[in-house]
Amino acid sequence: MSDELTHTDDAGEAQMVDVGDKPDTARRAVAEGTIHLQPSTIEAIRGNEVKKGDVLATARIGAIQAVKHTWETIPMCHQIPVTNVDTDFDVADDHVTLQVGVETTGKTGCEMEALEGVTTGLNVVWDMVKAAEKDSDGQYPDTRIEGVKVVSKEKREL
């Protein structure tokens, strides 16, 4: 690994990496994460009985929106042309796993977009079910998001 920093200039000031000379390539990144919930909350999600509405549909929209706005929230990310976003929820007895795939054609990858989609999608799930998850003290002793990671990334010439 190079000792040279890529996001600072010679004076140590933050800068965006110049990707202008790189060739366009087709890229895909997939990220995933899991939110742990009480079994009764999972049943409410499955039965579409959460008072705020359809949890997974809302989380899907939130994930897609987050993907499209990643460049606005992560300072050194380039604004990329997102060509596709797919979301997949796996609802188990005590958790929901969300996988987000992002595709682009351009000069830089889309891992951060996939990660932003996962974290926001899972945060939307939490927001939608928080009333059911709170204990008598208003705390969330069992609710947690974990395992957020990039599962895969691909790059191929056009």
| Domain boundaries, given as residue ranges, for the chain | 25-157
Non-local CB neighbours of 26 within 8 Å, separated by 6+ positions:
103, 104, 105, 154, 155, 156, 157, 158
Instruction: Pick the closest to residue 24 from 86, 83, 75 (CA basis).
Output: 83
Position 59 confidence tier, pLDDT thresholds 50, 70, 90: very high
pLDDT at 6 over 70: no
Range with the lowest mean pLDDT among 13-17, 31-35, 79-83, 112-116? Answer: 13-17
Output the pLDDT for position 22.
83
Rounded to 5 degrees, φ, ψ at 54 are -70, 105
Q: Model's pTM, two decimal places?
A: 0.90
Rounded to an integer, the average pLDDT of 63-88 is: 96
| Catalytic residue list contains 9 | no
Output the pLDDT for position 18.
80
Rounded to an integer, the average pLDDT of 84-89 is: 98
Assigned CATH for 25-157: 3.30.70.640
pLDDT at 1 over 60: no
Mean pLDDT for the chain?
93
Top pLDDT among 3 and 157 is at: 157
**What are residue 157's DSSP bridge partners?**
25
- Contact criterion met (CB below 8 Å) for 109 and 27: yes
Annotated catalytic residue, options 127, 135, 137, 142: 127
Rounded to an integer, the average pLDDT of 118-126 is: 98
pLDDT at 140 over 60: yes
Rounded to an integer, the average pLDDT of 93-105 is: 98
User: Distance between CA 75 and CA 88 in Å, rounded?
Assistant: 27
Angle at 31 between CA 58 and CA 130, to 5 degrees: 35
